[in-house]
Amino acid sequence: MSAGLSLAHEPVSGVPHGKLAMWIFLASEIMFFSGFFGAFIVLRNSNLEVFSHSAAELNKWLALLNTAVLIGSSLTMALSILNLQRGNKKNFQLFLGLTIVCGFIFLIVKTIEYTSKFNHVDPVFPHGIFPWSNVFFAFYFTMTGFHALHVILGLIPMIYMLSKSFTKQGYNKPVKLETLGLYWHFVDLVWIFLFPILYLIFPSHH
């Protein structure tokens, strides 16, 4: 038996391989989103007028609702992990189910936001608001679009785990749920930054 290959934990960090891999992936994800943030800031500084008028068109109350939904889903995810670790099946299912519901509420609100932008007609945007309408909306749709894609990709394994837990074998892999939890909290993190920079920060004085 080869000792090196059979280790369940990475020898230096002492954490399971999957979790370590997730952290490395998340580090690369931070840089992925940093590219958008950096470009956003640079172009915002050279197009202050466009950015402030366009940002004023966004519905910050829907975004606030989505912020609350994501914060709530982070809490239920953490509680779901704790309950799976302790073998409390019912509570694990309840909190994972709530997390999934929050994910779907987020996506529904996002859909409402997008549709209202597509159907938005005024003298400045006579044909509705789309990613190609101006540089601000290019960023808005790209950044929130990639974020929503992350939400969808997080929901898939959650739904798998929850449905597996109702089968005869049940679901009993707390480390995997914990790893998925890291990813889910990261999705919340990205939104923590997207919310103020897209919806709230626009210079009212200049």
Is there a contact between 202 and 52 (Cβ–Cβ < 8 Å)? yes
Q: Is 101 in the site for other proteins (CB under 8 A)?
A: no
Question: What is the x/- site pattern for other proteins, positions 42-61, by CB under 8 A?
Answer: x-xxx-------------x-
- Distance from C-alpha of 37 to C-alpha of 203, rounded to nearest angstrom: 17
CB of 107 to other proteins, least distance (A): 20
DSSP state, residue 199: I
- Distance from C-alpha of 62 to C-alpha of 50, rounded to nearest angstrom: 22
Q: Which of these segments, 31-39, 116-124, 147-155, 158-166, binds other proteins (CB under 8 A)? A: 31-39
CB of 153 to other proteins, least distance (A): 18
Q: Cα–chain-centroid distance for residue 86?
A: 27
Take residue 103 and report the two structure tokens written for it: 């994910």
Q: Is 115 in the site for other proteins (CB under 8 A)?
A: no
- Of 75, 73, 91, give the one whose Cα is nearest residue 83: 91
The letter for the amino acid at 131 is P
Q: Is 102 in the site for other proteins (CB under 8 A)?
A: no
- Interface positions with other proteins (CB under 8 A): 12-15, 20, 23-24, 26-27, 30-31, 34, 37-38, 41-42, 44-46, 60, 64, 67-68, 71-72, 74-75, 77-79, 82, 86, 181-182, 185-186, 188-189, 192-193, 195-197, 200-201, 203-206
